[in-house]
Amino acid sequence: MAKIEDYALLGDLHTAALVSIAGSVDWLCLPRFDSPAVFAALLHDETAGHWTLAPTAAASRVHRRYAGNTMVLETDWEAADGTVRVIDFMPPRARTPHLVRIAVGLRGETAMRSMLRMRFDYGRVVPWVRTDGNQIHAIAGPDLVRLVSPVPFRGDHFETLADFTVRAGDRIAFVLSWAPSHDPEMELADAEHALAATTDFWTGWSAGAAYPTGPYNEAVDRSLVTLKTLTYEPTGGIVAAATTSLPEELGGVRNWDYRFCWLRDATFTLQALLAAGFRSEAGAWRDWLLRSIAGQPDALQILYSVDGTRRLPEAELGWLAGYERSSPVRTGNAASEQVQLDVWGETLDALFLARQAGLPADRDAWALQVELMNHLESAWHEPDNGLWEVRGERQHFTHSKVMAWVAADRMARSVERYGLPGPALRWQQLRDQIRDDVVTHAYDRERNTFTQAYGSSALDASLLLIPRVGFLPATDSRVLGTIEAIRRELTVDGLVRRYQTNETDDGVMGSEGLFVACSFWLVDALHAAGQQRDAIALFERLLGLRNDVGLLSEEWDPVAERQLGNTPQAFSHFGLVISALQLHMKSTVGSDNPMMR
């Protein structure tokens, strides 16, 4: 099985595919991110569905890259007899989803093979497949998939094969399309026209970026394109990752479905896009939020589906063995039922940043903010499940209280700065009350550090966000002490753990990788504290955790030196963008910059 870092991302702003460096598409959900997978080899083996397009003989060298600032993947195989390039992409969707693969002869001639095994419903359903000239149709239940190519297909042991030769100058295309089986009309896609349109779309979108030139532009550009790919264009929702059940610990049980819109992850992604000059995404996300929580702002969930669905029941898919035998494989997410009070603060902060960035005013958006704040005023002092979704007894997590402070601060400032209606004085008083409460109950004077929760001695990486959100300046002695405590007690080989544990959240002994975003938070804290050399050194080390096409998953295993967790992870790429832009801009960044509050 390929390593997580061996996968590249394809996407059409509705769903996403993962293709390995061996040329195998091992993950694709149709028609949208959270739909059942038609290719699920990622979580089992090839019998759960895959599509491999590669030379039949071993290549002496394989190199791949994205074409410029696009989601068009180019993989070159070099061998003694020839060199071939496979171009993989998903055109931004109009109606029909397409996955296009074009084999291009660059030198000599190369024997190629396409191996297609479609398995609907996460590998469980074998479709009925029929051949019709130069295309095949696979149908089962609600799904219909068509594959079109000029090369002949043949069936062999429940797999569709095509053997062909690519010579220099040849361009041989395959177009896979999906439609609901009850409505089999599909848009036809000319591969070459689709390639040109896809390239133009991504090039045009990337050209809308507006941030200073700096030493990390290539990494920022790739992360921004990745974050955009994780947006669901019809609604403006932003998913946390493209996958489900990639493990936080190999062989472990921390395997969660991330194909949903966490408000926290989405607001952080929004901050990165705003900081880079992309405002339309902020407007689309605001509209998605208004629709998703309409009628019940006091019942704000931490996550929703891409269309705003609230109920996301968690289920286990027992027929899948899991990535490298990491089971169970899960769909849905029970964390949607948790109480995480920090989400109110992150949501109100994101709406404040959108307004600060020049997004046109929306009366409904402000009314929503007021309702959210009214609820938080009566709930901020309650315990919750916290940022890390602890599946156990609720606690008074420091980060949750700090984000309640953020909510009160942003609401008061909105009234003062933009003349919006609201009790600014009351919110200012609440802001001061929350700050006093946190300093009194979450600060360990003997160790000169804030702690994870009231009455706890444990540390938590989220404490690094205290200066970033403006709760205290980075030069405050208590913040400096917290930074040093985390570097001393919460790092492994210089990278930051989320928190200190001897057992997993659900009581099972185990360990996990290092949550990548936490180390970016340390970069930001060091930078803000004036420790520029350490900040740059850590940031450049984190760049080295990306795979060959610039992607980051959720976590990093410092022992095996490999990626862990769902991929690509919005949280990780958001952290990269913000850290890079702050290091780009150095002391020129002011408090009015969206990424700096």
Question: What are 11-57's pLDDT values in tens digits?
Answer: 999 999 999 999 999 999 999 999 999 999 999 999 999 999 999 99
Q: Which pLDDT score is estimated for 270?
A: 86
Say yes or no to pLDDT of 574 above 90. Answer: yes
Say yes or no to pLDDT of 585 above 80. Answer: no
Q: Which pLDDT score is estimated for 335?
A: 85
* Lowest-pLDDT choice from 169-178, 337-346, 474-483: 337-346
Say yes or no to pLDDT of 362 above 90. Answer: no
Say yes or no to pLDDT of 364 above 80. Answer: yes
Residue 186 CB-half CA count within 13 A: 22
pLDDT digits (tens, 9 = 90+) for 392-424: 789 999 999 999 999 999 999 999 999 999 999
463-485 average pLDDT score: 97
Contact between residue 247 and residue 564 where contact means Cβ atoms under 8 Å apart: yes
* Lowest-pLDDT choice from 86-90, 338-342, 514-518, 523-527: 338-342
Spatial distance between the Cα atoms of 326 and 564, rounded to a whole number of angstroms: 11
Q: Which pLDDT score is estimated for 595?
A: 47
pLDDT exceeding 90 applies to what percent of the chain?
Answer: 81
Say yes or no to pLDDT of 503 above 70. Answer: no
* Lowest-pLDDT choice from 11-20, 496-505, 551-560: 496-505
Q: Which pLDDT score is estimated for 590?
A: 35
Spatial distance between the Cα atoms of 383 and 386, rounded to a whole number of angstroms: 8
Say yes or no to pLDDT of 94 above 50. Answer: yes
Spatial distance between the Cα atoms of 88 and 23, rounded to a whole number of angstroms: 9
Q: Which pLDDT score is estimated for 511?
A: 65
Q: Which pLDDT score is estimated for 180?
A: 95
List the domains of the chain with CATH numbers.
4-195 (2.70.98.40), 205-596 (1.50.10.10)
- Contacts by 427-435, CB closer than 8 A, 24 or more apart: 427/373, 430/377, 430/380, 431/405, 434/380, 434/401, 434/404, 434/405, 434/408, 435/405, 435/471
pLDDT digits (tens, 9 = 90+) for 128-177: 999 887 899 999 999 999 999 999 999 888 899 999 999 999 999 999 99
Say yes or no to pLDDT of 520 above 70. Answer: yes
pLDDT digits (tens, 9 = 90+) for 195-223: 999 999 999 999 999 988 889 999 999 99
Q: What is the pTM of this model?
A: 0.95
Say yes or no to pLDDT of 429 above 80. Answer: yes
Spatial distance between the Cα atoms of 250 and 513, rounded to a whole number of angstroms: 9
Instruction: Name residue, tokens 């208590």.
Output: 478
Q: Which pLDDT score is estimated for 501?
A: 67
Say yes or no to pLDDT of 378 above 70. Answer: yes
The CA angle 2-573-597, to the nearest 5 degrees, is 165
Contact between residue 205 and residue 70 where contact means Cβ atoms under 8 Å apart: no
The residue that leads in pLDDT, 363 or 306, is 306
Say yes or no to pLDDT of 508 above 50. Answer: no
For the chain, what is the mean pLDDT? 93
220-232 average pLDDT score: 97
Show the tokens assigned to 350. Answer: 């994101």
Say yes or no to pLDDT of 2 above 90. Answer: yes
Residue burial 259-293, b: 16+ Cβ < 10 Å; e: rest: bbbbbbbbbbbbbbbbbbebbebbebbbebbbebb
pLDDT exceeding 70 applies to what percent of the chain?
Answer: 96
Q: Which pLDDT score is estimated for 66?
A: 98
pLDDT digits (tens, 9 = 90+) for 440-469: 999 999 999 999 999 999 999 999 999 999
Burial class of residue 369, CB neighbours in 10 A (0-12, 13-18, 19+): buried
Among candidate residues 242, 52, 76, 61, the one with its CA nearest the CA of residue 163: 52
